[in-house]
Amino acid sequence: MLKFDSNIITMNTTKFLLILTFLFGSLSVHSLTAGDNVARVSVLSSGELLLNGEPSDISLIESAFRVLKKSNGTVYYYRESPNSAKAPDGAIQVIDLVIKYNLPITFFTEPDFSDDFNPENHYQPTMR
């Protein structure tokens, strides 16, 4: 049984994910680890999506966002080449999911999530 704390996903979830990884070896399980209440989503200019640094797809990101919603987490979002004429479809789908699950989001300008963009149009280093 999965138990949710107001701040973290409990050890039962971590054990469950470890068992899944053991049973399905090659299956890549994208999830939040205990103590990590952030989903780091990168949208590359090629349209590829990354979740916490690993290749992903929109269904896996939605699953992670469901867990994030229950644990009061947040989304860190990075988009490669944000000034390009057209955003990749994945970028729009990710933002739609953020809205669907009413998640807080922080926009980053660096792929390593080392700085964020604040509403006053100033870039600032992020100490996390």
Q: Where are the domains of the chain?
A: 11-125
Closest among 75, 53, 51, 74 to 61, alpha carbons compared: 51
Q: Report the pLDDT averaged over residues 7-20.
A: 39
CA distance 18 to 80: 31
CB neighbour burial string for 93-107, b if at least 16 within 10 angstroms, e if fewer? bbbebbeebebeebe
Q: Is the pLDDT of residue 12 over 60?
A: no
Q: Which one-letter amino acid corresponds to residue 18? A: L
Q: Which one-letter amino acid corresponds to residue 41? A: V
Task: Give me the pLDDT at residue 24, please.
Answer: 35
Q: Is the pLDDT of residue 53 over 50?
A: yes
Q: Is the pLDDT of residue 22 over 90?
A: no
* Tokens 């992670």 -> residue: 64
pTM to 2 decimals?
0.66
